[in-house]
Chains A and B, each alone.
Chain A
Amino acid sequence: MTVESTAARQPRRSAGTKSTAGKRTTAKKPPSNEPELVQLLTPEGKRVKNAEYDKYVAGITPEELRGLYRDMVLTRRFDAEATSLQRQGELGLWASLLGQEAAQIGSGRATREDDYVFPTYREHGVAWCRGVDPTNLLGMFRGVNNGGWDPNSNNFHLYTIVIGSQALHATGYAMGITKDGADSAVIAYFGDGASSQGDVSEAFNFAAVYNAPVVFFCQNNQWAISESNEKQTRVPLYQRAQGFGFPGVRVDGNDVLASLAVTRWALERARRGEGPALIEAWTYRMGAHTTSDDPTRYRHDDERQAWEAKDPILRLRRFLEASNHADEGFFAELETESEALGKRVREAVRAMRDPDRFAIFENVYADGHALVDEERAQFAAYQASFADAEGV
């Protein structure tokens, strides 16, 4: 299948349209092969028309396009710096987003300030879009805290490590928006692995039953650590929405423009009171699951190379250059900015001090707890006993 023919096809919305999707669920043809997806920019950087989704990016300016490019480049630079910092022993772990920049920046830039975001632990690009300082993301990976930012400052919830739990929190939050009579929306991120969790299915169902303004954004990066799509599902994930009674769309997750357009569509209909939607962003985890993972044990490098040709940053650069939307000066300036960001992150991480040991007992409860008070006092006495012994 050529890229053009893929792009020209209509997305199969699971609600309202008569679907031919059944064909894809047969055992003969695994769901991950040759997906049909919404694409506005081909890997070669060519803009293709899409009758349904063009209107969501119709007014986009060259400046905004350069902004998306800048977001992706800086996010990738930050991510690379974090991986290096893990290798240098400054971080205990890092979960790289390499390859998923377009899905995250496109969807993240579709959100409004009053929308609320529920991430997994890999949404560094979305955090960037929400204005969370990237250095704040690193505290938990360094081991100085379990989430170092105020979720309400940027309407960006803490990273959630238990797979899929946040889909329910997002749904509950969206139910609250409805009760408040507000026109904000919520976006819940999760991955192909999380799609197997009961909490995700329960979230789909609650969202549908209460018509909650929540967009479920699944980044299908093909691998749940070592388990491929075939181990998670027998139907394309976006088609699951149909069974719950709301639309599902598969978008090219390496196409920032398409990710932006489809997420705008979903958020806008949620704000209008039309309920939830599921977006499956078809993308690829170019790196390991985390810095502790070894992908050579379960996947071939030729697969990675095939996805390299579909790189999200490269295709937007090609488009910007071909349309004369960005000149050499822009790219050079961005290169300088990237290096400055890397340096800032590096210095910030190295300057992060270990928390005070009594932080163990902080914020266990909002209204206090007698046992915590008692154990803190015991811990203090124990610590003090060393000070006495040393004559300090």
Chain B
Amino acid sequence: MAAEKMALAKAINESMRRALEADPKVVVMGEDVGKLGGVFRVTDGLQKDFGEDRVIDTPLAESGIVGTAIGLALRGYRPVVEIQFDGFVFPAYDQIVTQLAKMHARSLGKVKLPVVVRIPYGGGIGAVEHHSESPEALFAHVAGLKIVSPSNASDAYWMMQQAIQSDDPVIFFEPKRRYWDKGEVNTEAIPGPLHKARVVREGTDLTLAAYGPMVKLCQEAAAAAAEEGKNLEVLDLRSVSPLDFDAVRASVEKTRRLVVVHEAPVFFGSGAEIAARITERCFYHLEAPVLRVGGYHAPYPPARLEEEYLPSLDRVLDAVDRALAY
């Protein structure tokens, strides 16, 4: 029963369960993570099996959650913290940026803070305000943090294992619209490195690079493009910081065109950084400027408009057409 089909949310749940079993220093904490099992049920059953001391319902105070997690880490614990929704992380932003990210450096390496901050992120579920955002770039700008986002159940399982084992703070962005997508998880596999990208579809004409919820969309776009005779490569970046530029470069040197897709606003988004670095590294390989598909420079819209705001199959294909037109 090493390999099993399970939903992405369940994969994270199983991964935390395994970590709680393996290491008594691992604790799970957050709002409603106990009896309720989290609003998305990602921590379902953990408190029942590991007790209130290890799966901790916290007061509703995000700065308090991350700040006390730092204290627990200083005491030798490995806290896995849940921020209930993307838009609620900002009260904790100060603790994450000024304390969590910097303590290893300012202690000259003497202090390690193995804290995982889980954040369900992104839109597409018809939610109310502050429940659909993609703030990963706001964290990627901060040295000392590592930022990852799985796109499928197997990665969710293994990347969570690796994030908990990491001695660095990891912001773990969970693609909430993919929570219920099922995939094969082999719990006895030997996972690849946490921060390496993976080619999920080989192609020759153009590279689509994405992470988290947008990988599936890019795979659908590649399938649609294939019907038109276009052979697209899809790269699942998996990690935003560090970002596997070697993998992007290798792909672009082959396809000569790159479109980056994310839900976050395009302006100062991770696509901008990828475009700049790939332009530096692959200038003579590129047949077209690096194009980006993402959110607009506007507040995340009301749910009835989110399909217009979010990258869609057609918006991705439109960018593909524009890149191929060069």
Contact A369 B242 (CB under 8 A): yes
B residues near A202, Cβ cutoff 8 Å:
59, 61, 63-64, 67
Q: Which of A158, A165, A179, A180 contacts B107 (CB 8 A)?
A: A158
Q: Which of B67, B110, B244 contacts A165 (CB 8 A)?
A: B67
Contact A369 B75 (CB under 8 A): no
Q: Which of B66, B99, B110 contacts A162 (CB 8 A)?
A: B99
User: Does chain A have a CB within 8 A of B198?
Assistant: no
Residue of chain B at shortest CB distance from A177:
B75
A363-B70 contact, Cβ under 8 Å, with A165-B95, A205-B59: no
B residues near A369, Cβ cutoff 8 Å:
146, 168, 241-242
User: Does chain A have a CB within 8 A of B144?
Assistant: yes
Kindly state the separation between the CA atoms of A176 and B56 in the bound complex, as whole angstroms: 12
A residues near B143, Cβ cutoff 8 Å:
364, 372
Contact B70 A168 (CB under 8 A): yes
Contact B110 A176 (CB under 8 A): no
Contact-residue bracket for chain B: 35 or more
Contact A363 B105 (CB under 8 A): yes
Contact A148 B67 (CB under 8 A): no
B residues near A168, Cβ cutoff 8 Å:
63-64, 66-68, 70-71, 95
User: Does chain B have a CB within 8 A of A1?
Assistant: no
Q: List CB contacts (< 8 Å) of A322-350 with chain B.
A: none
Residue of chain B at shortest CB distance from A180:
B75
Residue of chain B at shortest CB distance from A182:
B75
Rounded to whole Å, the gap between the CB of B249 and the closest CB of chain A is 12
User: Does chain A have a CB within 8 A of B76?
Assistant: yes
Contact A179 B53 (CB under 8 A): yes
B residues near A148, Cβ cutoff 8 Å:
108
A174-B95 contact, Cβ under 8 Å, with A152-B110, A365-B104: no
User: Does chain B have a CB within 8 A of A387?
Assistant: no
User: Does chain A have a CB within 8 A of B318?
Assistant: no
Contact B68 A165 (CB under 8 A): no
User: Does chain A have a CB within 8 A of B127?
Assistant: no
Contact B105 A175 (CB under 8 A): no
Rounded to whole Å, the gap between the CB of B28 and the closest CB of chain A is 13
User: Does chain A have a CB within 8 A of B58?
Assistant: yes
Rounded to whole Å, the gap between the CB of A169 and the closest CB of chain B is 4
Kindly state the separation between the CA atoms of A198 and B65 in the bound complex, as whole angstroms: 13
Per-position contact with B for A167-196: 1 when CB-CB < 8 Å, else 0? 111111111110110000000000000000
Contact A146 B241 (CB under 8 A): no
Q: Which of B74, B195, B243 contacts A169 (CB 8 A)?
A: B74
User: Does chain B have a CB within 8 A of A151?
Assistant: yes
B residues near A227, Cβ cutoff 8 Å:
none
Per-position contact with B for A206-238: 1 when CB-CB < 8 Å, else 0? 100100000000000000000000000000000
User: Does chain B have a CB within 8 A of A145?
Assistant: yes
User: Does chain B have a CB within 8 A of A4?
Assistant: no
User: Does chain B have a CB within 8 A of A366?
Assistant: yes
Residue of chain A at shortest CB distance from B167:
A366
User: Does chain B have a CB within 8 A of A92?
Assistant: no
Kindly state the separation between the CA atoms of A169 and B244 in the bound complex, as whole angstroms: 33
Kindly state the separation between the CA atoms of A121 and B111 in the bound complex, as whole angstroms: 18
Kindly state the separation between the CA atoms of A205 and B95 in the bound complex, as whole angstroms: 17
User: Does chain B have a CB within 8 A of A294?
Assistant: no
A residues near B105, Cβ cutoff 8 Å:
146, 362-364
User: Does chain B have a CB within 8 A of A157?
Assistant: yes
User: Does chain B have a CB within 8 A of A147?
Assistant: yes
User: Does chain A have a CB within 8 A of B23?
Assistant: no
Which 4 residue pairs across A and B have the least CB separation, nearest first? A172-B71, A168-B67, A176-B75, A172-B68
What are 24 inter-chain pairs, A to B, with CB distance below 8 A? Answer: A146-B105, A146-B106, A165-B95, A168-B63, A170-B71, A171-B64, A171-B71, A172-B70, A172-B72, A173-B72, A175-B71, A175-B72, A176-B77, A179-B53, A199-B67, A202-B61, A202-B63, A202-B64, A363-B104, A365-B104, A366-B104, A367-B168, A370-B245, A371-B243
Residues of A participating in the B interface, judged by any CB pair closer than 8 Å: 145-148, 150-152, 157-158, 160, 162, 165, 167-177, 179-180, 198-199, 202-203, 205-206, 209, 362-367, 369-372
Residues of B participating in the A interface, judged by any CB pair closer than 8 Å: 27, 53, 58-59, 61, 63-64, 66-77, 91, 94-95, 98-99, 102-112, 143-144, 146, 166-168, 195, 241-245
